[in-house]
Amino acid sequence: MFTKAAVLTALASAAVATFAVAAPAQAETAVTTALPTANMEAVLKAAQIDPRRADDTLTPGAHDSVLLVEQALQAKGLLASQFVDGYFGTSTIDAYSAYQKSLGYTGIDASGLPGKTSLEKLGENRYTVTNPVSAGSQVTYHSKTLNTRTKAMLVAAEGIYGSQVALTQGSYNPGGVDASAGTHDGGGAMDISVSGMSSANRTKLLTALRKVGFAAWLRTPAQGFDYHIHAMAVSDPDLSSGAQHQTGDYYLGMNGLAGRGADDGPQVTKVTWEEYQRG
């Protein structure tokens, strides 16, 4: 039979022994444990589609990455707990926009669509960013301003189509001529002339544009436009808010116009430029 004092001494010894073994193991764990990863491609896709959904369906493959972003926004006091759910809806867009503004960004840089710099900054000590997407720098192609990502996409589409095209409007063009307000303010946007182009070739070009990652539609006089192809590069981090709505609607089977009619373009598997390049 043990005395009370003997039991306490034994317990104390056991506690010391446990601590002596456990302490180095914990220190080692703290150093070597990797942070979770947030997939930027998945976050961008959800940030375009989810705000346009009529329900709370999650964008496939995006939940875990979006949740990390939302938890970080919540930790900064920018997002209420009921919206921390892996769904990048309008409240998350607003919270992300507020975060971008807190970093000093304005205009399309504070649209609520994550860019690589803000996404990494938000994730400090919380997550690391994988699958980064960059709009690149602004360049002139076919006499219009595009970014390097959009230009590479158009060059690839022209290769599939088998001919070069003429642009009537490019990107980064606030106050532009497009009747879809603001869609050309940011990156990823372009209008293509279809003057003299047969109906079959218009469809062939739309198909090529969609295959490489554009949300592209033929705009018509019946819709209030001169005939042209309006194309937005899906998941371009520089998309304006209006353009984000159109790429989201493209994924949801709509035509990108204010009336949100049915998609009237050729049916092609919807991909981003990054997904197209991986094949």
Q: Which residue is nearest to Zn ion (CB)?
A: 230
Smallest separation (angstroms) from Zn ion to the CB of 136: 20
Cα gap 178→246, rounded to integer Å: 13
Contact residue for Zn ion among 41, 109, 185, 191 (CB under 5 A): 191
Residue number, 109 or 178, with CB nearest to Zn ion: 178
Which of 29-37, 74-82, 178-186, 264-272 is the region at the interface with Zn ion (rule: CB under 5 A)? 178-186
Which one, of 166, 165, 183, lies nearest residue 174 by Cα?
Answer: 183
d(CA 276, CA 71): 31
Chain centroid, CA 54 distance in Å: 19
Provide, rounded to whole angstroms, the least separation between the CB of residue 205 and Zn ion: 15
Min CB(225)–Zn ion separation in Å: 9
Q: How far is the CB of 53 from Zn ion (least distance, A)?
A: 24
Give the separation between CA 227 and CA 23, rounded to whole angstroms: 71
Question: Does 230 help bind Zn ion (rule: CB under 5 A)?
Answer: yes
Rounded to the nearest 10°, the torsion over CA 143, 146, 147, 151 is: -80
178 contacts Zn ion (rule: CB under 5 A): yes
d(Cα 220, Cα 25) in Å, to the nearest integer? 67
**89 versus 149: smaller Cβ distance to Zn ion:** 149
C-beta closer to Zn ion: residue 44 or 216? 216
Residue with tokens 């304005």: 106
- Contacts with Zn ion by CB under 5 A lie at 178, 191, 230
